[in-house]
Amino acid sequence: MLQAMIHGKLTREEEGLEDLLTSNTFGLMKYLPSEAALLPFLSLAKDPLRDHSLASWLQGALKVESFRFWPTLAHPKCFGCEPDVDIVFLHDDGTKTWILIEAKYRSGKSSEALEDTERPNDQLARRT
């Protein structure tokens, strides 16, 4: 599928499917050594509010403990959500870093805050 995308063999609708792009990008990274692609790629991410890099959270990462696509996450105090990718890294000191990825391509957020409830509905505000 990735080669079909690279060579322009997909329909316009298929080209714009975020899930297909997520699968191609992170699916490849799942099977490569994490230091070859996943860690360098994620280390480039920055917090736009504080200008902090994700690299500091990934220092000392030894291995990927789990890597899931489109898991359903729920908590009694929040609406459920389905991030695109759920990755847990195990660090050399025994700690773990949990990263949830919500990929966007030519689209905005899929939800907004609700005024009449305390439970977060906004996809960026939800957490477990």
Backbone angles phi, psi at 102, to 5 degrees: -120, 105
* Number of other CB atoms surrounding residue 29 within 10 Å: 21
pLDDT tens-place string over residues 68-120: 999 998 888 777 888 899 999 999 999 999 999 988 776 666 555 556 666 55
pLDDT of residue 31: 92
pLDDT of residue 127: 46
Helix (H) / strand (E) element for 79: namely: strand 78-81
pLDDT of residue 79: 75
pLDDT tens-place string over residues 9-51: 767 676 667 788 888 889 999 999 999 999 999 999 987 788 7
Q: How confident is the model at residue 123 (pLDDT cuts 50, 70, 90)?
A: low
The overall pTM is greater than 0.85: no
pLDDT of residue 36: 95
pLDDT of residue 20: 82
Token pair 């050399």 is found at 92
Question: Which DSSP letter does residue 98 get?
Answer: E
Kindly state the percentage of the chain with pLDDT values over 70: 73
Q: What is the mean pLDDT of the chain?
A: 81
Backbone angles phi, psi at 32, to 5 degrees: -95, 155
